[in-house]
Structure formats: structure tokens, C-alpha cells
């Protein structure tokens, strides 16, 4: 039996050349290449964050528990020996990492450095995420700090794969819980961002509002009794922002 | 195993080599050029995500076409209710122009393109892969997930139907043969 297309050379030739006779707009092809490249980068960035958290967070928890355990044992031993001098040395040791971070950051000026040192005990947001999440966060943060009437305004802006990760802490509203109820805070956010872009949840027992600012940018805001924490980033989803938020040293609300 | 950046470099390389061909394949399958760009994008992102599943049993081109065919079929299945509606309202179906700012077709090929577009999905797929993209029977059977026998028999029926469609479009039997 003869092959069908051998009987129809014109049809066969026409079909063969159809591919060349269709012309895809060159600009659109290049634009799609850029989009694919960008979306692959986003995918890489997200999977690196997830991987990092899977490795890094349990390690931190383990180390923290070990240090906590040692501290507890040491404290008990010391208090048995001399109850009058229990904590002084240990407290200094705990303050050192934040001082090291402040000293080593090359992006901050002398005044900011002095302000940070002065307020080191008030700093709750992590200033060294670039050390633990170096695959995702592309360098040390720029830091802005303001002394407010009742506390501190602090912002760390980290470079990430696409854009920036913004982490801030504000004690602008002292005793927040007493002045506002949860619904007031939610209503305030709804009035700014619209009901459809707001989700209310909890982190460490504190009211947390998830705000979809645009298709590429999400923000979360956490209200504790003395602080407001805000995290926002380009191309990070809420789960990733919440994982970073868990690294905040939350005030205990007392 | 390639790391993420190496995978990205390979995918971008594949896009440069096969992106054009994949886009045209999807465009001919869907008859919707905007959507064809979206699904080309989806094809290459899926290739990146599932890169480790690529076992070199087939060529990269065959593997990419398999993904492109699957994303197109998924899309066509979802679109089915709308197709039924557009068959009831014929004007809606004809709104998609043959040539637009995305894809330009040489004038002498518009009849063939239109006739191909009028074929049922399975006929269109097998003609595109075997006759336009010139995949072998074995490669076509991998991409479509059919037996080689089914590829041959469906192709034969598909070509006859295409010929009838072309005659409807004004081609004479003499010109075709």
C-alpha cells in the first residue's frame, strides 16, 4: 500500500512549509522569554526560602533549647552558690549577638549605630536575616531608626531576589491593646486596603492582618500589646512572610 | 543532578531552540494566539518544575512537546462548555482573526490554516506533529500517548478529512494531488 502523503505531494509540501509561513511576533517572543526567566527566578527564590526554613528554623530551635537548658542549669547552680549575683554575666552574653550585628553592618552610619546600641534591648526584629537566609536575602539590611516619645521606630530593608523585604517595628502606640480593640484595627486596614484584600489571623496569639497589596506584593501586620510589626516583600507569599515573622522576638504583652 | 541555576540555563536554552515551534504548535491546536502564549509560558515553567522527571528516554524537544500537548488538552477540556456555546452562536466562534499582532500567516496559507483549524482535535494534533513538525511515528506516539498503530491510522483518516476541508475552501482535487 502506498503511503498516503506520497500520493499528495502538494498537500504534503504545503503542510511541511506551514510552520515557516507562520511568523510569531519577535518582540512578544522576547517578552515571553523574559517572563519565563523571571518566573523561574521567583520559583527558585521561593523554594530556597522553603528549604532554608526547613533546615534553619529547626536548627535555631534546637540551639535555642540547648542554650536555654544550659542557662537553666547554670542559673540553678549559681543561685545555689550565691543568690545575690545570678544574671549579670549571662545577660551581657545574650546581648552580644545584636551588638555584633549592629557593629558589622556596613550600611549604617555612626548616628544610627549609636541609636541602635542605645536601644538594643528594645530591638525585637531580626537584623541579620542575611546570615541565616543568604540564598534568598541578598545582603545586609539598610536600617533606619527613630526614637519616638514612647519607644522606637525601626525599619530593616533587605535586598531580595526581586525587590526588597521590609521589616519594621514600631512602638508608636504604647499599650495598644488598651486603646484599640481588634475590630478597630481590622476596620482601619479595611478602610485603606479594601475588605477583599484583608485576611485576619493570629501569630503567637497576637492579631495578625494579611494584606494583599498587589498581585506581586503582600504585607502582614502584627499587633502586640506594645508594638506593631510590619513585613512586606515583592514576590513572597504569606506563608513565607509568616515564617520570617516567627523570628521576631515578640514582647510578652505584660 | 543539575542545580536550580543550571536547570534555569537549560530551560532558557530550550526556549531559544524550541520556543517558537512550541508556540506555533499550541497556537494551531487552540486557534487562540493570546492563550497560546500563556500556555507556552506554562509549558516552560512546568519543564523547569519537573526537570528531574526528564530521563533522556526521549529528546528534550519530544518531552517539551508532550508537556505542551498536555497543557493544551487540559485547557481545551476546561474550555469545552464555552466551545459548545460558541457552536450554538456561530458569530462568537469566528471572532478570533486568523492573523493578528501576535501571529502572522502568509496569505497563501490561510486556507490551509483554516482547514486545519476546522478538524477535530485528534486529527489536528496528529497532522501537526507528523506533517508540520515532522516528528517520527515513534516520537508522535510518545507525545500523544498513543500506540504507533493508532498514530498511523488516525493520520491517514485525518489527512483525508483535511483534504475534504480544503476542497470545501475552494481547492481543486487536481491542485491537491
Q: What is the ipTM of this complex?
A: 0.85
Other Cβ atoms less than 10 A from the Cβ of B86: the count is 16
Nearest by CB to B131, from A15, A29, A47: name it: A15
Chain B segment 70-89 residues within 8 A of A by beta carbon are none
Q: Right CATH number for B91-177 from 1.10.3470.10, 1.20.58.100, 3.30.460.10, 1.10.10.10?
A: 1.10.10.10
Phi, psi (5° rounding) for residue B136? Answer: -70, 170
Q: Per-residue pLDDT tens for B114-132?
A: 899 889 989 999 999 999 9
| DSSP label of A137 | B
Domains B1-88 and B91-177 share a fold: no
Alpha carbon dihedral B11, B16, B19, B20, in 10-degree steps, equals: 180
What's the pTM value of the predicted model, to 2 decimals?
A: 0.54
Return the C-alpha cell found at A12: 504534503
Q: Per-residue pLDDT tens for A201-219?
A: 889 888 899 988 776 778 9
Instruction: Categorize the per-residue pLDDT at B92 as very low, low, confident or very high, splitting at 50, 70 and 90.
Output: very low
Place of cell 485603606: A192
CATH assignment, B1-88: 1.10.1740.10
Q: Is B134 on the interface with A (CB under 8 A)?
A: yes
Nearest by CB to B19, from A11, A15, A29: name it: A29
Chain A residues touching B5 at Cβ < 8 A: 44
Does the structure show a pLDDT above 90 at B72? yes
Mean per-residue pLDDT of chain B: 84
Provide the residue ranges of all domains of chain B, joining segments of one domain with +.
1-88, 91-177
Chain A residues touching B8 at Cβ < 8 A: 37, 40-41, 44
User: Is-contact A171 A245, C-beta < 8 A?
Assistant: no
Instruction: Categorize the per-residue pLDDT at A116 as very low, low, confident or very high, splitting at 50, 70 and 90.
Output: confident
* C-alpha to C-alpha distance for A17 and A191, rounded to whole angstroms: 59
Express as a percent the part of chain A with pLDDT over 90. Answer: 8
Instruction: Categorize the per-residue pLDDT at A82 as very low, low, confident or very high, splitting at 50, 70 and 90.
Output: low
Chain B residues touching A44 at Cβ < 8 A: 4-5, 8
Q: Is B152 on the interface with A (CB under 8 A)?
A: no
* C-alpha to C-alpha distance for A190 and A47, rounded to whole angstroms: 31
Mean per-residue pLDDT of chain A: 78
CA proximity to A207, closest of A221, A193, A195, A187:
A221
Across A143-152, B30-39, B135-144, B149-158, least confident range: A143-152
- Nearest chain B residue to A10 by CA distance is B176
Amino acid at each position: 500500500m502506498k503511503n498516503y502523503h506520497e500520493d499528495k505531494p502538494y498537500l504534503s509540501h504545503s503542510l511541511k512549509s506551514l510552520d515557516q509561513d507562520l511568523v510569531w511576533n519577535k518582540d512578544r517572543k522576547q517578552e515571553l522569554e523574559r517572563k519565563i526567566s523571571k518566573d523561574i527566578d521567583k520559583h527558585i527564590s521561593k523554594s530556597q526560602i522553603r528549604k532554608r526554613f526547613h533546615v534553619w528554623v529547626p536548627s535555631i530551635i534546637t540551639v535555642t533549647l540547648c542554650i536555654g537548658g544550659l542557662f537553666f542549669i547554670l542559673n540553678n547552680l549559681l543561685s545555689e552558690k550565691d543568690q545575690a549575683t545570678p544574671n549579670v554575666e549571662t545577660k551581657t552574653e545574650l546581648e552580644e549577638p545584636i551588638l555584633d550585628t549592629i557593629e558589622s553592618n556596613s550600611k549604617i552610619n555612626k548616628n544610627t549605630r549609636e541609636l541602635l546600641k542605645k536601644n538594643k534591648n528594645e530591638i525585637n526584629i531580626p537584623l541579620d536575616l542575611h546570615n541565616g537566609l543568604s540564598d534568598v536575602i541578598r545582603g545586609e539590611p539598610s536600617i533606619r531608626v527613630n526614637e519616638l516619645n514612647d519607644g522606637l521606630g525601626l525599619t530593616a530593608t533587605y535586598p531580595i531576589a526581586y525587590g526588597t523585604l521590609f521589616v519594621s517595628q514600631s512602638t508608636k502606640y504604647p499599650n495598644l491593646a488598651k486603646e484599640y480593640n481588634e475590630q478597630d484595627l481590622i476596620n482601619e486596614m479595611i478602610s485603606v486596603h479594601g475588605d477583599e484584600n484583608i485576611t485576619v489571623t493570629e501569630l503567637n496569639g497576637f492579631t495578625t492582618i494579611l494584606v494583599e497589596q498587589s498581585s506581586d506584593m503582600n504585607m502582614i501586620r502584627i499587633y502586640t500589646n506594645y508594638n506593631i510589626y510590619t513585613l512586606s516583600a515583592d514576590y513572597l507569599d504569606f506563608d513565607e512572610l509568616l515564617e520570617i515573622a516567627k523570628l521576631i522576638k515578640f514582647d510578652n504583652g505584660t | 543532578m543539575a542545580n536550580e541555576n543550571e536547570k534555569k540555563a537549560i530551560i532558557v536554552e530550550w526556549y531559544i531552540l524550541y520556543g517558537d515551534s512550541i508556540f506555533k504548535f499550541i497556537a494551531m491546536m487552540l486557534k487562540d494566539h493570546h492563550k497560546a502564549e500563556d500556555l507556552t509560558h506554562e509549558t516552560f515553567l512546568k519543564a523547569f518544575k519537573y526537570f528531574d522527571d526528564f530521563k533522556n528516554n526521549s529528546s528534550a524537544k519530544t518531552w517539551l512537546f508532550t508537556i505542551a500537548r498536555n497543557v493544551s488538552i487540559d485547557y481545551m477540556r476546561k474550555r469545552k462548555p464555552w466551545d459548545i456555546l460558541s457552536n450554538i452562536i456561530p458569530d462568537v466562534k469566528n471572532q478570533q482573526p486568523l492573523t493578528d499582532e501576535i501571529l502572522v500567516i502568509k496569505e497563501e496559507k490561510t486556507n490551509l490554516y483554516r482547514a486545519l483549524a476546522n478538524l477535530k482535535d485528534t486529527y489536528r494534533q496528529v497532522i501537526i506533529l507528523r506533517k508540520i513538525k515532522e516528528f517520527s511515528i515513534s516520537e508522535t506516539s510518545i507525545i500523544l500517548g498513543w500506540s504507533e498503530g493508532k498514530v498511523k491510522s488516525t493520520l491517514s483518516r485525518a489527512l483525508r478529512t483535511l483534504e475534504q476541508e480544503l476542497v470545501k475552501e475552494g481547492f481543486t482535487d487536481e491542485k491537491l494531488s
